[in-house]
Amino acid sequence: MPQTPVSFWDTPKFKRGLAKRRAAEWRFKLYGLIAMLIGLASVALLFVSITLNGVGAFWQTQIKLDIFFDPAEFSEENLQAANYGKLVKNTLYSHFPEVTKRKEKRQLSRIVSVGADIMVQKMVMAEPSLIGTTKSIWLPVDDVFDMLHKIDFGRDSSKGGSGLVSENQLKWFDSLVANGLIDSRFNRTYFTAGDSREPELAGLLGALMGSFYTILVTLLISFPVGAAAACYLEEFAPRNRFTDFIEININNLAAVPSVVFGLLGLAVFINFFGLPRSVPLVGGLVLSLMTLPTIIIAGRAALHAVPPSIREGALALGASKTQTVIQEVVPLAMPGMLTGTIIGIARALGETAPLLMIGMVAFIVDIPSGPLDPSTALPVQIFLWVDSPERAFVEKTSGAILILLAFLITMNIVAVWLRQKFERRW
């Protein structure tokens, strides 16, 4: 009985509903797009704000002073004891003969960094023949004036930092600028000095070396141990309750908060084994325990990707199981293992909290010369500097972040490159 159906699809009810559903579709897609754009914008904002804040750290405002090394100031036997501060200040005063009052002079002298005399001292001690000559030297200005020069911080209330610079100082500084005695020059101190309370004297070398030793220890421990554990679990271990337990354990450890690892380091390495505090060795030990799960998981995946035919081939030729794994399988899985290791190490390099807890957070000026010297690490240095009130440290911090990110990006690019270069499809 063929009906004459008025199809539901032709009814106005359906058409109306359809229009609404179309609109909902469009909105949904829009929400997704917006969400993605928010995510991308966060990335952009993060990097742009850090870069804008940070590039300044690589430049330093310096003042050119023609210092006359008056022989009268130096005694033959003890170059170290000469009053270098006086040399620097007198040269500065000579540019402003009108400043005579002691109080004003003191204000004027603040323009030059307090570290200037030590720099001059080092210079003379390295080259005693300077005595009796005049030499023009670029010396860092105080951080307040560094900021004034770079971003007008402290110039007037609208720029922030009001009260940091007195009116006189502003006048003097501007006249120095006008005379071409002030210039922005490459900040060598930043890469050659340790930490300092004075932003213009603070450098990253101490933190970089601390990170280097910490990561070295981490790498030396976590890579061999992680690779061996991955080999055992993937190639030799029987599948039973116990190995299952190990596996759950490893997966869970990968998600344990880093402060908990810090507690472990504190209680076990420092309190129980009596290892010294604040040293890269302990930092490296803690970080290697944190990194191990990543390396083991990546290592197992790499081993798993090696096709069974390779093992069967070697076994068929009479090789033992251990021989097969070490000589045939591991070399093929090595790129994957290395990729996992690099990614794990990159994460360890940025890790901060556990290092704070084992004491790598002290104010340390000296450059560490081994994993048993007290030191900080790059991310810890960032943390320390963020806490400092001086405006100039914002720049220093951002600069340190840029360097940290540069390391991380390089490591990740190497990891990706390794993976692509050696990736095999069987």
Of residues 283-342, those binding other proteins (CB under 8 A): 289, 292-293, 296, 320, 322-323, 326
181: left (phi over 0), alpha (psi -120 to 50) or beta: alpha
Position among 121, 218, 352, 376 found at the interface with other proteins (CB under 8 A): 352
Residue 261 interacts with other proteins (CB under 8 A): yes or no: yes
Distance CA(156)–CA(165), nearest Å, equals 9
Q: Which stretch, 61-69, 125-133, 183-191, 269-277, contacts other proteins (CB under 8 A)?
A: 269-277
| Alpha-carbon span 251 to 11, nearest angstrom | 56
Q: Specify the residue, 169 or 222, whose C-beta has the smaller distance to other proteins.
A: 222
| CA–CA distance, 386 with 393 (Å, rounded to integer) | 7
Q: Does 408 bind other proteins (CB under 8 A)?
A: yes
Closest CA relative to residue 333, chosen from 219, 227, 220, 225? 227
Rank residues 175 and 327 by Cβ distance to other proteins and give the closer one: 327
Residue 139, H or E segment:
strand 134-140
Q: Contacting other proteins (CB under 8 A), which of 74, 398, 399, 418?
A: 398
**Binding pattern for the stretch 44-73 against other proteins, x by CB under 8 A and - elsewhere:** -xx--xx--x--------------------
Report the side by side order of strands in the sheet with 182-186: 134-140, 59-68, 182-186
**Least distance between other proteins and beta carbon 204 (Å):** 14
Q: Which is nearer to other proteins, 21 or 106 (CB)?
A: 21
Interaction between residue 92 and other proteins (CB under 8 A): no
C-beta of 19 vs 125, nearer to other proteins:
19
Helix (H) or strand (E) segment spanning residue 65: strand 59-68
Nearer to other proteins, 83 or 252 (CB): 252
For the CB of residue 299, give the shortest distance to other proteins in the complex, in Å.
11
At its nearest, how many Å lie between other proteins and the CB of residue 93?
Answer: 35
Distance of CA 2 to the CA centre of its chain: 78
Whole-number Cα distances in Å, 30 to 40, 45, 218: 15, 22, 46
Please identify, among the stretches 25-33, 117-125, 134-142, 331-339, the one whose residues bind other proteins according to the rule CB under 8 A: 25-33
| Binding to other proteins, residues 196-255 (CB under 8 A) | 224-226, 228-229, 231-233, 236-237, 245-246, 248-253, 255
Please enumerate in sequence order all residues whose Cβ is within 8 A of that of 371, keeping only pairs 6 or more positions apart, or say none. 213, 214, 216, 217, 279, 280, 281, 284
User: Applying CB under 8 A, what is the total number of residues that bind other proteins?
Assistant: 105
By three-state DSSP, how is residue 14 classified?
helix
CB of 248 to other proteins, least distance (A): 7
Tell which phi-psi region holds residue 154, choosing left (phi > 0), alpha (psi between -120 and 50) or beta. Answer: left
Q: Does 190 bind other proteins (CB under 8 A)?
A: no
